[in-house]
Amino acid sequence: MTQLTLALSKGRILEATLPRLAEAGITPAIDPDQSRELLINTSRDDLRLLILRATDVPTFVAYGAADMGVAGKDVLLEHGGRDLYEPLDLGIAGCRLVVAGLPGALAAAERRPLRVATKFVGIARDYYARQGRQIEIIKLYGSMELAPIVGLADVIVDLVDTGNTLKANGLEAFETIQWISARLVVNKAAQKLENERVRELINAFEPDANG
**Which chain residues interact with ligand PRT by CB under 6 A?**
9, 11-13, 53-55, 72, 74-75, 93, 95, 158-165, 180
By C-beta, is 37 or 46 nearer to ligand PRT? 37
Q: For ligand PRT, which is the closer residue by CB, 74 or 154?
A: 74
Q: How far is the CB of 206 from ligand PRT (least distance, A)?
A: 20
CB of 74 vs ligand PRT, minimal distance in Å: 5
User: Could you give the C-alpha distances from 190 to 46, 147, 185, 203, in angstroms and in order?
Assistant: 14, 42, 11, 16
By C-beta, is 2 or 162 nearer to ligand PRT? 162
Of residues 38 and 108, the one with the C-beta less far from ligand PRT: 38
CB of 147 to ligand PRT, least distance (A): 12
Output 51 or 75, the one with its CB closest to ligand PRT.
75
Q: How far is the CB of 79 from ligand PRT (least distance, A)?
A: 11
Closest CB 12 distance from ligand PRT, rounded Å = 4
CB 157 within 8 A of CB 123: yes
CA–CA gap between residue 104 and residue 55 (Å, rounded): 32
